A and B are shown apart, each in its own frame.
Chain A
Amino acid sequence: MTCVDPIVQTSVLFGGSIGMAIIFGLYIARMISYEMRPLEKPLARVEKGFFRLVGIDVNRQMTWKEYLFALVFTDGIVMVFIFIIFLIQGMLPTATPGLKGLSIDLAFNTAASFITNTDLQHYAGDQQLSILTQMIAITFVMFVAPASAMAAGFAFIRAFIRKNFGLGNFYVDFTRNILTLLLPVSFVSSLFLIYMGVPQTLNSSVTIDKTLEGHNQSFTIGPVGSLESIKMLGHNGGGFFGANSAHPFENPNGFTNIYETFLILIIPLAFPIAYAKLVGRGRGIAILIAMLIGFGIMFAIALTAQSGPKGLETRFGSFGTLLFTISSIATNTGATNSLLGGLSPNAVISLFLGMFVQAIPGAAGVGMMTMIVYVLLTLFIVGLMVGKTPEYMSMKISPKDIKLAVFIFLLHPTLILIPTVTAFTTGNAQGVLGREVQGQKITPFGYTQALYEYTSAAANNGSDYLGTSANTPFWNWSTGLVMLLGRFVPLGLMLGIAGSFTAKDRKEVIEPIKTEGPLFISVLVIMTFLLTALTFFPFIIIGPFSMLGS
């Protein structure tokens, strides 16, 4: 089960995930528009019971500010809860003797990392976390984080359905996402992964007598299967083990490799399908195609140079590795099945590109929202170019919308560059880069690692070069802060745009340039990449691009 033919792999993967995305997308569309879902009756009964238990008024519609507050409030509570668990895990059951709580800065970093769906790991899960922590903190928050983002995505899409449709109720969306989407799907997936060889047990280790070398060897295991499926499905990406999906217990073989990639892609691709169902078939498909083209460009760049074999898992081969890694980075999952250091500079450039754009296809909900923001900016220019006040679906794009959109695009480079510069000027970067520092000078590879760390944090991606070596107070606090800002500020701004659009008049007017079809898709893709390229071009040049010649 080593190398499957690349074309077969790709077509199985995309055929499968787009097919599944259509089913999921139609289901999500029903969730967004409160239509009857399959099994509505039993589902509603379960939900109602839950809502009554917690005291949620199902029918209350929220303004964008209330929605944002509810989201931040919920995530805030969960973050505090897991932060405390990380600190005191040594005192809780299932802790192996001698296991201590995490340091405050690492606990903060980890809590911020998981609640923001980033899953940047400055710890080694298999060594520093207890089984209980893995379950009630890590796996639990792996449901909370994507459910929040998807709920925001729901509210955002509702803004475009029709005037004053309402943005919905965060608590309802959030609960439904977990109960009727993430939980059942990841349960089934877990069973499948367990069948494929992923361990699922409450024992923290297993000892094998007499390995080939003739010694006894002890392996860390635990409830990996349950974590693994939601790690992929919910774009979390934080592995049970430090080696993430390169670890054979997380990703045993070529088939699970494809299956996990498939899980990653379903929900991000389902969002444009839901959008197509709700606001116009062509529009949703245009966005889906734009995302796929973006993804294709990433993949093509990565394929221009041979990756590995150093640092790659032989189980998946170079192509399987790239397919997994690029899918994972493009969706901001951040799971990796190889050492990033093993990838070619071109592949690294493509990973950066995915994190800079954040919308090809991006994480569940967030990717969709970001893409719509690109659409708005594109339409602004398009509108001017044809001599009409820019509008989307015949809703006028106001200066306020442009302001919010510009802030979103301004925030991203700010959150990446300012911390990176700070890390270098304070010497903290040099401190963790080891042999990439040569006297006063840092190698392009060393600089790339630091830039990657903050890019990953700002994009809520979670993959990194540094890993546990970045477990220093500076890196923990700074990346933690960047992750929180990179998550909640854009969410707030995008919900602000939703708030503005939900109140807009819309009507049956022919668009001067249709927001569908090849012309629009190509303009959208060009604009997306141009904006990104112009912002980050020099940093790629002095970083990964220079890695080749040096």
Chain B
Amino acid sequence: MKIVDMIKKEMRFDKNDKGQNAISAVSSNTSNKKKPSTIDRKVIQDSVTKLDPRYLAKNNAVMFTVEVGFIVVFIIALFPNISTEFVQFSSAFYFEIAVILIITVWFATFSESLSEAQARARVDSLRSLEKEVSARKIVNEKEVVVNSKSLKPGDEVKVYAGETIPRDGLVIKGKAFVDESMMTGESNPVFKEKDDHVIGGTRIASDNILVEITAEAGRSFLDEMVGLIESASRPKTKNEIALTMLLAGLSLIFIIVVGGLLFLIHYLGYSGDIATLIALLVALMPTTIGGLLPAIGVAGVTRIGRDNIVAKSGKGIEAAGDCDVLILDKTGTITEGSRSAIKFIPLQMYTEQDTGQAAFAASIHDNTHEGKSIIDLSEEKRFIPPLMEKILAARPIEFSADTGYSGIDFIPAKKTALTNEQQEEFAFISKLESENGNGNGIAGADNHHHVNCKVSSMLLELDKFNKEVQVLKGSVDNILALTRKANARVNEAEVRWKAQEVSKDGGTPLAVSINNEIIGLVVLKDNLKENIRQKLDEVRATGITTVMITGDNKLTAQVIAKEANVDQVMAEAKPTDKLVRVQEEQSKGHVIGMVGDGTNDAPALAKADIGLAMNSGTAAAKEAANMVDLDSDPSKILRVVKLGKQLLITRGAITTFSIANDVAKYFAIIPAMIMKSTNNAHLESLNIMHLHSPDTAILSTLIFNAIIIPALIPLSLRGVKFKPEPPQKTFIRNMLIYGLGGVALPFVGIKVIDLLLSVFMR
């Protein structure tokens, strides 16, 4: 392990260090540091500005109606002699009602302002996540280190190997390999020379270039997203529109009801006090949900932001609640995403040590995680092959999709000169060998400790006869094909059987061969992510089907699926299969959530209802998705689904609560309205609440109606608790809490307020 780390530092450039780690580090810092300041002057100010009737008329019909009610009652309070028929209480009473009404409206605007303030705080902290790098700007032919933010189009910057290109630009001098994997997903570095375009955020793999900056600052992807959150025009989601419609309809119904009462009770000989009727109207209208609706919507975006996910619109978050099929990449989402060697399996003729040594040799130039893990495992087991000097200097055979293998190729006798770096590494390994008392080093041609090892002797023998040596590792099929082509002797049945055994346990077998002779298998295995099983169980409980997609063969895939408890598996999938699957499921009517990071994921991400792209992914993927996770943690999609559901449930629960409240409010106000002027004994049976007086009944109903709004602000900002469980259960529980509770609570609440008021109103 240590060795490889050292080697990595010295001779290799690792593409996925720093970058995203740095980002996640920053983000976790900010979220700890910046607790959104809750109530400050700006919130108050903003909430008071929102009391403007013009604003309310446009944005919140329910609250607008309440405000009109306030104006009417206020005028009556000022001129109580306006009418004798419709004004029966004292002026003070009307003032009290007016005050409660305007406070009701203010509570609503306050909740909206508060949630907006939180969203703003969130945006600010997102801003700080933006990647800033230092750049070497050329000023008067000299390199000056500046912050990338300060760069303007036309500036020239020099970028060296290992450094990040600060912004989009054009190469004006030099040639270099550029690693664009974070943008395009293509892992092989791209060759760039004069007049080629380079992308900001990509990294130079070798050499250096002079770049002329062409892009403006602040046009980055994140910037666009932040802009979306901030924009004042929050596009309403379909559910929000439908709910607004329902609330407006209910309000209109109650306006007609109260309007009808205003005239009719007069003919029946009851006193038609206008303030009482306005109180009845305000109490009946769904003011609670009407007041909190905007806050709930904004809070959704804020909450998702708190998880370091940027959503392009509220729509995506809400759609997440509908998600019933999750398509998950095996790699990176369910498993750690990096397969590591865990075991060497020799063929009959060889030992474990043979296999280990051959695998070591084949992987020496393999920079992938898998390759490194093979080296690690060999080192750990002390399976170091002889002829290290030559192996290190050998010509690497790069992996390609066509051949399906990689390895090294060297002619032992040919004198080789190690580069400085290779020499260092060589010395390092030699040292390790000697430290562990493994004899007198590996530098000599006659290494005794390798004698009893077939591969060692084979290599030494080949070396002696000065033959070309080719050590390869690759998929079992590919290596077998190679040996077949070369007519080498091989026990194909044994290889296949052993490979199958590996697959059955969820591992991936790699065959290792020396000069077309298969030595053994390396078992690679991908480890499950921490807690993934528990997370997937939760998802399943809410009735979501999980589909694991993987390029692995069926056997391996099945094992992992079983371990992680996934519902369906799509094995041996080609990249395009994702899109096909998404379309297939959608045509069956499912709502699909998926995670992706590569360019080839982009079409599927765009097609999926909820596409979560990784910040580390390609620009195309981020463009196509409707959400981006800044931490690049694919399993966050589960959080998004949960949040989407929570958002809808919160709206539904408060709506139900609001409507259920009306029952008690009728029983509080109707007796207050008619009891005064009738001695009908049958009507007396309606007075089940026995409130102190008509005045206190009306006041306490309105006070309850008003304070329930701030009381529910925390709930609407935080969201109703969502447990992973069958929807039926969620429904029954919420119906009991918010439906039945909504009926019962105001009976108690109004009665308590009435008792308190009766003390003062004597």
Contact = CB atoms under 8 A, between A and B. Distances in A.
Contacts of A386: 645, 648-649, 652, 727, 730-731, 734
Interface stretch (B2-10, B417-425, B566-574, B655-663): B655-663
Contacts of A403: 242, 245, 249
Contacts of B738: 385
B233 interface: no
B193 to A, nearest CB: 52
A509 B589 contact: yes
Contacts of A542: 261, 264-265, 268, 270, 674
B172 interface: no
A403 B243 CA distance: 9
Interface residues of B, number: 68
B39 interface: no
Contact of A535 (B257, B684, B686): B257
Contacts of A510: 543
A418 B256 contact: yes
B683 A541 contact: yes
B260 A385 contact: no
Interface in A351-392: 377, 380-390
A209 interface: no
Given A410-B252, A441-B269, A549 B682 contact: yes
Interface string B239-263: 1011101101110110011011101
Q: Determine the main DSSP class of B at the interface with A.
A: helix
Contacts of A424: 263-264, 267
B260 A384 contact: no
B680 A508 contact: no
B284 interface: yes
Contacts of B644: 387
A383 B652 contact: yes
A132 to B, nearest CB: 42
A550 B679 CA distance: 9
Most buried by A among B259, B589, B662: B589
A325 B247 CA distance: 36
Given A418-B260, A441-B269, A519-B732, A387 B321 contact: yes
A435 to B, nearest CB: 15
A295 B738 CA distance: 28
A509 B318 contact: no
A494 to B, nearest CB: 16
A402 interface: yes
Contacts of B260: 413, 417-418, 420-421, 539
Contacts of B718: none
Contacts of B279: none
Interface residues of A, number: 60
A388 B542 CA distance: 11
Interface in A285-325: none
A549 B648 CA distance: 46
Interface in B528-542: none
A85 B663 CA distance: 50
Task: Name which of B651, B662, B735 has the most chain A CB atoms within 10 A of its CB.
Answer: B735
Interface in A479-520: 505-510, 512-513, 519
Contacts of A90: none
Contact of A389 (B248, B318, B666, B722): B318
Given A418-B260, A534-B662, A542-B674, A447 B267 contact: yes
Given A388-B321, A410-B252, A418-B256, A447 B589 contact: no
Interface in B214-244: 238-239, 241-243
Given A409-B253, A541-B683, A387 B722 contact: yes
A509 B586 CA distance: 11
Contact of A506 (B241, B589, B682, B686): B589
B253 A541 contact: no
Given A388-B727, A402-B245, A509 B284 contact: no
Contacts of B318: 389
B649 A546 contact: no
Given A394-B589, A409-B253, A506-B589, A384 B264 contact: no
B681 interface: yes
B554 interface: no
B321 A447 contact: no
B655 A381 contact: yes
Contacts of A397: 242
A406 interface: yes
A537 B663 CA distance: 10
A401 B659 CA distance: 20
B682 A385 contact: no
Interface string B707-743: 0000000000000001000011011101100100000
Contacts of B732: 519
Interface string A389-432: 11000100111011100110110011001101100110000000
Contacts of A135: none
Given A389-B321, A397-B242, A402-B242, A421 B264 contact: yes
Interface in A524-550: 530, 534-539, 541-542, 545-546, 548-550
Given A441-B268, A507-B588, A541-B674, A381 B259 contact: no
Given A509-B589, A534-B662, A546-B683, A417 B238 contact: no
A196 interface: no
A550 B243 contact: no
B492 to A, nearest CB: 46
Contact of B238 (A382, A398, A548): A398
B682 A407 contact: no
B261 A410 contact: no
A444 interface: yes
Contacts of B645: 386-388
Interface in B631-665: 644-649, 651-653, 655-656, 659, 662-663
A178 interface: no
A523 interface: yes
B656 A381 contact: yes
A549 B246 contact: no
A509 B588 contact: yes
B590 interface: yes
Nearest to B588: A507
B366 interface: no
A88 interface: no
A403 B253 CA distance: 13
Interface string B530-566: 0000000000000100000000000000000000000
A10 B681 CA distance: 34
10 contacts: A380-B246, A385-B656, A389-B238, A389-B648, A509-B590, A519-B732, A534-B284, A539-B261, A546-B680, A549-B680
Given A388-B321, A530-B659, 12 more contacts: A385-B653, A385-B734, A388-B645, A389-B319, A402-B245, A406-B248, A420-B264, A444-B268, A507-B588, A507-B589, A508-B588, A545-B686
Interface of B: 238-239, 241-243, 245-246, 248-250, 252-253, 256-257, 259-261, 263-265, 267-270, 284, 318-319, 321-322, 324, 543, 587-590, 644-649, 651-653, 655-656, 659, 662-663, 666, 670, 674, 678, 680-684, 686, 722, 727-728, 730-732, 734-735, 738
Interface of A: 377, 380-390, 394, 397-399, 401-403, 406-407, 409-410, 413-414, 417-418, 420-421, 424-425, 440-442, 444, 447, 505-510, 512-513, 519, 523, 530, 534-539, 541-542, 545-546, 548-550
9 A-B pairs with least C-beta separation: A507-B589, A384-B652, A387-B645, A406-B249, A549-B682, A417-B260, A549-B680, A512-B727, A399-B242
